[in-house]
Each structure stands twice: as structure tokens, then as C-alpha cells.
Amino acid sequence: MRYDDKLLGNLTTAHPHYDQNTNESFNYLTHFSRNRKYNVYRIKAGKTRDLITSIEVKAPSYMHSFGLTKHYIILVEFPLVVNSLDLLL
């Protein structure tokens, strides 16, 4: 799917979450670059993702899914990490 925004990322979760109370979808993108980070976003309607926060990380972890509560998005980093330099080489 193509989005109408410039949010950067190379890898996303297999299971975005939907909040029925707010009619929003939540997900994150792992951005591989010199400054690796998780870009957490929401979609209210349409094809524009709204960035909630960016979390810089030393070695991004593969996350198949994440947790969502009324007040929090919970990212759990597992031991499987990715060295973005190895991906480029």
C-alpha cells in the first residue's frame, strides 16, 4: 500500500492494531540508516500516517507484533537484532 506521507522505514510488523474506540490503526516502521530508529505511527483515516514518536536504537530488533493498551504502545525487543551495515554489504 502507498501512503500519502514521507514517513521513513524499511520493515514493519505483521500485525498492526486497531483501536475501535478511536477508529485508529497503530503500527511502527523500523528505519535502517546511520540513525536507526523505530517510527511509531497511527492512521486515523485515509492513507496518511501520523508519527507518534521516533525511538533511536543501536541495533534494531525484529518484532513480529507489539502490544496496545488504552494509554500505551508496547514494543518488546527480542534477541534477534539486525545490523543495518550487514544488510547493505
Give a yes or no: residue 83 inside a domain. yes
pTM of the complete model: 0.84
Give a yes or no: residue 38 inside a domain. yes
Please state, in angstroms and rounded to a whole number, the distance separating the CA atoms of residues 27 and 41.
6
Characterize the bridge pairing of strands 24-31 and 17-19: antiparallel
Q: How confident is the model at residue 84 (pLDDT cuts 50, 70, 90)?
A: low
The yes-or-no verdict on residue 87 having pLDDT over 90 is no
Give a yes or no: residue 56 inside a domain. yes
Q: What is the pLDDT of residues 68-82, one digit of tens each?
A: 999 999 999 888 787
Looking at the 3D structure of the chain, how many domains does it have?
Answer: 1
Give a yes or no: residue 5 inside a domain. no
User: By residue range, what is the domain housing residue 34?
Assistant: 11-88
Q: What is the pLDDT of residues 14-45, one digit of tens each?
A: 889 999 999 999 999 998 888 889 999 999 98
Give a yes or no: residue 34 inside a domain. yes
Tell me how crowded residue 68 is: count the other CB atoms within 10 A of its CB.
15
Please state, in angstroms and rounded to a whole number, the distance separating the CA atoms of residues 41 and 79.
23
Q: 5-17: buried (b, 16+ CB within 10 Å) or exposed (e) per residue?
A: eeeebeeebeebe
